[in-house]
């Protein structure tokens, strides 16, 4: 029995413990409320996104045809790029070899033989080189432009990056000057290095079509190491005369069309230069192995006959 007027006084430690429990409960309830609010916002955002993506049958059909058209157009661009480069390299090879071995052929015959030779022996190599450059461009693009939130700008950059291995188009867009400058500088260095690795691989592939892609790259790197100083000099001149700075200077002096013609001639000139370098490297490699092969076409055409005439006679 408890008498009236009798009270119990709670100790200070118990009061503090109750206060702490109440504070914890309030904090837990606030955290649960915040989490529930975030989940509700996510659900609402997802529902709004779904409602925003609701497309009619006509829109779905139009989107499907647009994606199909872009994919088909990109495929045709790849095929056209591969065919043109294969033809040009084949024609350059046949022209140079005919001149070195003293074999006369008409212009139509040179174009026909070179086109057939290039399509037959260089198509796979050109595709491999394009795939490496495209992968390099996309990786650098993700590194420099992966944090862009503007979807329209990101789509424009993506399209221009996909076209960079085929053309001289620059992915310059207003508002992203810092990222694009860093990308162009890094891409120029990396693309020059990749082009140096593949400098003589086309001629290795066209002379010996039995080699695999890995063997072609390995043989090309070995020939570059055989005459490294000369290879670096040729590549530096090519990077200067066929680079973006020379294109910009020529375009301001003579116009874009004339600058494009001059750089196209320069590219063909360096194709010939790398072919002569390939023959010289093969000759030096043969001399180091103890075989007497000379690079003088007037005194001895044995090297060119042994390497190239079987290729020409097979076509």
**In the chain, domain spans:** 69-313
d(CA 162, CA 132): 12
Q: Report CA-CA distances (Å) from 64 to 55, 59, 74, 151, 152.
A: 12, 8, 15, 20, 19
For helices 213-226 and 228-241, the axis angle rounded to 10 degrees is 100
Q: Are 143 and 193 in contact (CB under 8 A)?
A: no
Number of residues that this document lists for the chain: 315
d(CA 125, CA 131): 10
Three-state DSSP state, 148: coil
pLDDT tens per residue across all 315 residues of the chain: 444 444 444 444 444 444 544 445 455 555 555 555 555 555 544 444 444 445 556 666 777 787 788 788 888 888 888 899 999 999 999 999 888 888 888 888 889 988 998 898 888 889 888 888 888 888 888 888 777 777 777 777 777 777 777 665 566 666 677 877 888 888 888 888 999 999 999 999 998 878 888 899 999 999 999 999 999 999 999 988 888 788 888 888 888 888 888 988 999 999 999 999 999 888 887 777 655 444 443 333 444 444 554 444 455
Structure tokens at 212: 């695999």
- The closest of 136, 141, 263 to 198, measured between CA atoms, is 136
Q: Report CA-CA distances (Å) from 158 to 135, 138, 167, 169, 192.
A: 13, 8, 14, 12, 21
The pTM is what? 0.70
pLDDT of residue 6: 43
- The closest of 113, 121, 127 to 211, measured between CA atoms, is 121
- Please classify residue 31 by burial: count the beta carbons closer than 10 Å to its beta carbon, then call 0-12 exposed, 13-18 middle and 19+ buried: exposed
């Amino acid at each position: 029995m408890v008498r009236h007027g009798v009270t119990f006084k709670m100790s200070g430690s118990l009061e503090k413990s109750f206060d702490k429990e109440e504070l914890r409960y309030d904090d837990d309830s606030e955290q649960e409320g915040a989490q529930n609010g975030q989940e509700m916002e996510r659900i609402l955002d997802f529902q709004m996104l779904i409602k925003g993506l609701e497309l009619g049958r006509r829109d779905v059909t139009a989107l499907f045809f647009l994606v199909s058209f872009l994919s088909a157009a990109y495929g045709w661009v790849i095929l056209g790029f591969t065919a043109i480069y294969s033809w040009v390299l084949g024609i350059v090879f046949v022209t140079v070899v005919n001149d070195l071995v003293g074999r006369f052929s008409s212009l139509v015959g040179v174009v026909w033989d070179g086109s057939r030779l290039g399509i037959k022996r260089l198509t796979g190599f050109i595709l491999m080189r394009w795939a490496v450059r495209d992968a390099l461009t996309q990786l650098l693009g993700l590194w420099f432009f992966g944090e862009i939130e503007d979807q329209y700008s990101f789509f424009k950059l993506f399209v221009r990056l996909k076209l960079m291995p085929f053309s001289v188009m620059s992915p310059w867009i207003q508002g992203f000057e810092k990222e694009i400058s860093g990308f162009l500088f890094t891409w120029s260095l990396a693309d020059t290095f990749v082009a140096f690795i593949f400098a003589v691989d086309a001629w290795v592939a066209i002379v010996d079509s039995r080699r695999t892609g890995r063997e072609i790259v390995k043989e090309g790197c070995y020939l570059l190491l055989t005459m490294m100083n000369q290879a670096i000099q040729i590549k530096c001149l090519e990077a200067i005369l066929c680079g973006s700075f020379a294109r910009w200077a020529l375009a301001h002096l003579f116009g874009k069309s004339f600058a494009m013609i001059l750089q196209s001639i320069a590219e063909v000139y360096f194709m010939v230069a790398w072919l002569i370098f390939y023959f010289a490297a093969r000759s030096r490699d043969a001399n180091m192995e103890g075989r007497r092969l000379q690079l003088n076409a007037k005194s001895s055409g044995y090297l060119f006959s042994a390497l190239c005439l079987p290729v020409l006679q097979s076509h």
